């Protein structure tokens, strides 16, 4: 199903019609035979709050005068120029696209034969662009700055050469320990899972140190001196202050999704952690963007780094992007329900602004017999992993999330991303919709615009 502009007819009906600017739009009928919208009576939204009330979960405000910002909200998509960035039809062409030709095969890299077998067992033959460009530099000990979006293979780009370094040190009777910092618990767990696959049978340990989980098992794991410690900055700092994590023996460090860690307010923790590591160390830095703060960190903590950028465009050409305009008299929640009852919406990520709103929205959808889970910062570590796993396995069709799920997570075959609430920035929008249209699959992104 393709959706376009919502046109409110003078006759009282609502329909999709060709817009005056030439964009093609389509009529949509719900499975119950009616069209959503229309002259609905005002009704309560999820949780029983009136749809006009700012306390309503997921509330994103009323009609907006285009060209002006709502004071105090700080969302991206409140002017017509910004809304236009949410509309981009997936490219369908018969012309052959330029194909990336890697300089290497994984078999060509001078790495341990057992590691090569593990890579082959995962089905990898040719490296992605970031892997192709970064692995050789990491193998010879260069500091690296990798600029690439999520979903480009950054995790393997740093894990493969660092695993090889650890294995070669062990063969010489020495130890090489690696610290990996990640912004979220889910990404840290995902990195550890990738590590387990690549390092199978190689004779060393890795562990995850994240907040929201019982700290005692993490303390116990650190007593075994694992070669890889993967964690979020807050928990890593906590373990350091308890003196159970001492970084003087860590000579390699990775900062993954560094821009996201800055956005989440981890800058002081990051600086504290890096300051406790040996000055002579191997530093790898991965980020989707290059801000002034990122440049400052690079200048302070990296030595003559190789800068590798594989950014090609803001959003994938595999993603069909459009907006759904919500008239003042329409119920935003009921429109979402109508959409999700369409069979084409088979695996959907719905993004909301607040933890409270996301939780309420997921429960309200479940009451409508749309099986949904939520993921946000107030959920326990175990509950977040359980919700994510249920979504990956197809046990629920909808995952309602704050921007905690917008980066780094590998969720296969997401059919749609719906921005129920507007993102704070265009960069957040790019990361949100990047959860669909992955691995050459087509995806669809739909943004709700109020008024």
Which CATH number is 299's domain given?
3.40.50.300
* 330 and 298 together in one domain: no
Whole-number pLDDT of residue 123: 87
CA-to-CA separations, 246 to 18, 242, 250, in angstroms, rounded: 63, 10, 8
Residue 297 phi, psi (nearest 5): -60, -45
* 299 and 321 together in one domain: no
End-to-end Cα spacing for the chain:
22
In a domain, 257, yes or no: yes
For 224-309, where are the alpha helices, taking DSSP H only? 233-241, 258-263, 267-275, 292-301
**CA distance linking residue 255 with residue 173, whole number of Å:** 27
| Domain C-terminal end among 309, 342, 363 | 309
In a domain, 158, yes or no: yes
Ranking 60-69, 148-157, 210-219, 401-410 by mean pLDDT, the lowest is 60-69
Highest average pLDDT, of 7-11, 120-124, 274-278, 319-323, comes from: 274-278
Q: What percent of the chain lies above the pLDDT cut of 90?
A: 49
* Residue of higher predicted confidence among 406 and 273: 273
Q: Give me Rg for the CA atoms of the chain.
A: 24
The CA-based angle 379-383-389, given to 5 degrees, is: 130
In a domain, 11, yes or no: no
In a domain, 380, yes or no: yes
Mean pLDDT, rounded, of the chain: 79
Domain containing residue 207: 106-309
Q: What percent of the chain lies above the pLDDT cut of 70?
A: 78
* Residue of higher predicted confidence among 257 and 412: 257
Whole-number pLDDT of residue 3: 40
In a domain, 98, yes or no: no
| Domain C-terminal end among 261, 283, 309 | 309
* 384 and 354 together in one domain: yes
Ranking 246-255, 276-285, 313-322, 323-332 by mean pLDDT, the lowest is 313-322
Mean pLDDT of 338-356: 92
* 396 and 340 together in one domain: yes
The position carrying tokens 């979504």 is 391
Band of residue 311 on the pLDDT scale cut at 50, 70, 90: low
The CA-based angle 24-28-31, given to 5 degrees, is: 160
Closest CA to 350 of 331, 367, 330, 370: 370
In a domain, 326, yes or no: yes
Highest average pLDDT, of 41-45, 120-124, 276-280, 297-301, comes from: 276-280
**CA distance linking residue 280 with residue 126, whole number of Å:** 32
Each residue's pLDDT tens digit, 231-257: 999 999 999 999 999 999 999 999 998
**CA distance linking residue 43 with residue 25, whole number of Å:** 28
Is residue 28 over pLDDT 70? Answer: no
Number of domains in the chain: 2
Paired tokens of 107: 């078999």
In a domain, 193, yes or no: yes
Mean pLDDT of 432-450: 83
* 193 and 299 together in one domain: yes
CA-to-CA separations, 347 to 4, 142, 357, 404, in angstroms, rounded: 21, 41, 20, 18
Band of residue 312 on the pLDDT scale cut at 50, 70, 90: low
Is residue 74 over pLDDT 90? Answer: no
* 366 and 297 together in one domain: no
In a domain, 1, yes or no: no
Burial group, residue 334, by CB count within 10 angstroms (0-12, 13-18, 19+): middle
* 131 and 279 together in one domain: yes
Mean pLDDT of 44-61: 37
* 202 and 290 together in one domain: yes
| Domain C-terminal end among 274, 292, 309 | 309
* 418 and 375 together in one domain: yes
* Residue of higher predicted confidence among 72 and 329: 329
* 172 and 50 together in one domain: no
Band of residue 5 on the pLDDT scale cut at 50, 70, 90: very low
* 333 and 293 together in one domain: no
* 78 and 134 together in one domain: no
């Amino acid at each position: 199903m393709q959706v376009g502009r919502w046109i409110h007819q003078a006759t009282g009906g609502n329909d999709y019609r060709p817009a005056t600017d030439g964009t093609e739009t389509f009529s949509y009928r719900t499975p119950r035979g009616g069209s959503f919208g229309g002259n609905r009576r005002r009704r309560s939204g999820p949780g029983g709050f009136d749809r006009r009330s700012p306390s309503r979960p997921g509330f994103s405000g009323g009609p907006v005068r285009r060209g002006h910002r709502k004071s105090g909200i700080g969302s991206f998509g409140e002017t017509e120029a910004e809304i236009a960035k949410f509309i981009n039809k997936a490219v369908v062409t018969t012309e052959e696209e330029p194909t990336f030709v890697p300089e290497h095969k994984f078999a060509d890299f001078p790495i341990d034969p057992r590691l090569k077998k593990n890579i082959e067992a995962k089905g990898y033959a040719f490296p992605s662009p970031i892997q192709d460009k970064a692995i050789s530099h990491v193998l010879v000990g260069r500091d690296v700055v990798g600029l690439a979006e999520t979903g480009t293979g950054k995790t393997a780009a740093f894990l493969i050469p660092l695993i090889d370094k650890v294995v070669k040190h062990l063969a010489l009777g020495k130890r090489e320990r690696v610290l990996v910092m990640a912004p979220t618990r889910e990404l840290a767990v995902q990195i550890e899972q990738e590590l387990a696959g690549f390092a199978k049978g190689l004779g060393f340990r890795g562990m995850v140190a994240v907040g929201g989980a019982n700290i005692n098992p993490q303390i116990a794991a650190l007593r075994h001196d694992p070669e890889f410690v993967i964690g979020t900055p807050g928990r890593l700092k906590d373990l350091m202050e308890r003196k159970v994590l001492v970084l003087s023996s860590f000579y390699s460090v990775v900062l993954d999704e560094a821009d996201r860690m800055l956005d989440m307010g981890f800058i002081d923790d990051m600086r504290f952690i890096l300051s406790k590591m040996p000055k002579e160390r191997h530093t790898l830095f991965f980020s989707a963007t290059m801000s002034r703060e990122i440049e400052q960190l690079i200048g302070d903590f990296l030595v003559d780094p190789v800068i590798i950028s594989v950014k090609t465009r803001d959003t994938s050409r595999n993603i069909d992007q459009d907006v759904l305009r919500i008239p003042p008299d329409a119920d935003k929640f009921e429109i979402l329900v109508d959409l999700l009852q369409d069979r084409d919406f088979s695996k959907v990520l719905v993004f909301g602004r607040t933890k409270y709103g996301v939780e309420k929205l997921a429960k309200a959808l479940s009451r409508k017999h749309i099986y949904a889970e939520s993921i946000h910062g107030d959920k326990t570590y175990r509950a977040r992993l359980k919700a994510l796993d249920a979504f990956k396995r197809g046990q629920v069709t909808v995952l309602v999330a704050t921007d905690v799920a917008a980066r780094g997570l590998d969720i296969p075959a997401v059919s749609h991303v719906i921005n129920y609430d507007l993102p704070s920035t265009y960069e957040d929008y790019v990361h949100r919709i990047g959860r669909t249209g992955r691995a050459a699959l087509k995806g669809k992104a739909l943004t709700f615009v109020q008024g």
